[in-house]
Structure 1
């Protein structure tokens, strides 16, 4: 796969959750079922080992088997399907994780800079270059509320000069900082080579249809697709919304009804991601939806502090009732038993 071209075409890429049982043991049946769900829902790939997968698996021995299961299920997709692996830690760890992903057949690495909070501009760039030597690199602007750091225009301008960068996920949940990334990409001269992916779960549909131009005669840029925690749930509906956004973007006109859906999706995300609780329940909110749909057997997370905030379940149920067009419960119910079947044996 030419991962750069594939991403520039625009894809729905869910951030893959982690399925544990009530005792905190990896539930391989549910873990595989989730990947099957994303494939059949029409997603263009998955991102594994990222924030939604719970960063703790990078240190507890679960990373390799979780990556391997997704790669194994992707072989049966029957179409182009991007495998993106998250990498974390200092340079030695991040390179080692990128090598693991490469050996498992992953196409690109999404690099978190959370462990480099005190690193200088040049240290960050050296870190990124080292990982880019292993796999095509997707930059990651993670919001500070869940472990990221502020990354200014100057960083992104230099980041886009790295040869093997194929995309960037802008997820600061901040309009000014998102524009920094977009302007840096345009100014780098590589806007036709590097794909913009939204990770702004609070602004998904608007990111996908709003063009941006920074000078009167300058190049117009827009987000090609999304790599999102929100798309880990209700994925079939998300794919339909993405295709609708693509049509409106190509037409150069966005109807009011679509703008209404954009606001409704942001409201739904506020419940799932626990905005009222300062995002403390964002991972648990995703687990709650998947558990309600019967795709995972337990809401258990690696860390004991990853739980629903008070009132969050009620908020999620509110948006489920309010926005049935954003939900894919019927699709999941019709296919869940098949997805939960044991893994096929080789040979």
Structure 2
């Protein structure tokens, strides 16, 4: 069961950045900067973090790297050490076939994570029924945050009927919609609205190409003669791994605008600017090959990462991507939070402590 306070906060909606991986030039874990990243997200005002997800690099699960448990533990330690008086949702990325997913779910639960963001990517041989069985198995271990991943990065298209059955699974408390497709996003929202568990499930955007519009839109359906309204209340986004304090400011403005009789046109324009920024970060011009490196490049420029390297040496910036990031810096300085980081970076780095000496190590 999901903790009542976490559930309430999840349904209110919040900013949940997808946590990157800090590496040295030798592609070893940079623990000091890994911890500093978590501090950054906490002090930016984010309402949670998602660790062990695509932005954290799936290779952390490889037997010769074996960083999955460690990066989850480091983030959980920093959240505990922060001693927050406000809710903060810890989401663990879970992937792989059923046995692997169950193992990761147990690890995440043991480390105190609230929900498992269950990827269905890389399982093309699974039928929709087999996917549903896998989801039910994981939900018996840890509350599930569903995840609709776009096909271009390993996901697949699911039917409306799949999402109807998905929404009815006890233990599913949220769904991240990241198909980068309006039709497929609508399938999920409509399916949840037709479920008896509609009020139990929080909808979150993962559509980095449509963040602001997703968060501003109210969906209205007639369900057996009754009008049902549903909003996408928050986001789990790789885009929010950078410029996070500004993302929190914008999110708060969006939440306030929901209660107005008309949406300020300025927010719609900012939505276009955010999408344009994502063009530089996520590299759609090259089928998203530079999406992790794009995020890491911004964090490197800000000093949060020492190097822009990935565990997979082939993961690098695409041709022209650095120039696109330069353009975003020039055109949208109001979306950038470099000054916030500059003011706090030395503190975040100097406060980093090893788990053996200064942190209570979570078992």
Give the counterpart of 1:258 among 260, 267, 286: 267
Deviation at 1:63, TM superposition (A): 0.5
Normalising to structure 1: TM-score of the pair?
0.98
**Displaced runs of 4+ in structure 1, greater than 6 A?**
none
Normalising to structure 2: TM-score of the pair?
0.93
Stretches of structure 1 that go unaligned for 5 or more consecutive residues are none
Per mean C-alpha deviation after superposition, the further-off stretch among 128-137 and 52-61 is 52-61
Query: Residue deviations 1:127-160, cap 9 Å, x none?
Result: 0000001110010001111111111211110001
SS at match of 1:149: coil
Matched, 1:162 2:169: yes
Give the counterpart of 2:239 among 227, 230, 236: 230
Matched, 1:130 2:137: yes
Matched, 1:213 2:217: no
SS at match of 2:231: coil
8 A Cα contact 2:353 2:359, kept in partner: no
Deviation at 1:346, TM superposition (A): 3.8
Stretches of structure 2 that go unaligned for 5 or more consecutive residues are none
Provide the rounded CA distance (Å) in 2 between the counterparts of 1:115 and 1:274: 21
8 A Cα contact 2:203 2:234, kept in partner: yes
Matched, 1:335 2:344: yes
Deviation at 1:189, TM superposition (A): 2.6
Matched, 1:179 2:179: no
Provide the rounded CA distance (Å) in 2 between the counterparts of 1:253 and 1:31: 42
8 A Cα contact 2:95 2:101, kept in partner: yes
Equivalent residues, number:
347
8 A Cα contact 1:39 1:77, kept in partner: no
* Correspondence 1:71-86 to 2 at 5 A: 71-75=76-80, 76-78=82-84, 79-86=86-93
RMSD: 1.2
Corresponding residue of 2:43: 40
Matched, 1:277 2:286: yes
Deviation at 1:336, TM superposition (A): 0.5
Corresponding residue of 2:12: 9
8 A Cα contact 1:4 1:194, kept in partner: no
Corresponding residue of 1:30: 33
The 1:273–1:214 alpha-carbon spacing in structure 2 relative to 1, beyond 3 Å, is same
Provide the rounded CA distance (Å) in 2 between the counterparts of 1:164 and 1:299: 38
Deviation at 1:275, TM superposition (A): 1.4
Deviation at 1:220, TM superposition (A): 1.3
SS at match of 1:214: strand
8 A Cα contact 1:4 1:167, kept in partner: no
Deviation at 1:190, TM superposition (A): 2.1
Deviation at 1:253, TM superposition (A): 2.2
Per mean C-alpha deviation after superposition, the further-off stretch among 67-76 and 249-258 is 249-258
Corresponding residue of 1:247: 256
Deviation at 1:252, TM superposition (A): 4.1
SS at match of 2:147: strand
Provide the rounded CA distance (Å) in 2 between the counterparts of 1:214 and 1:108: 28
Deviation at 1:303, TM superposition (A): 0.7
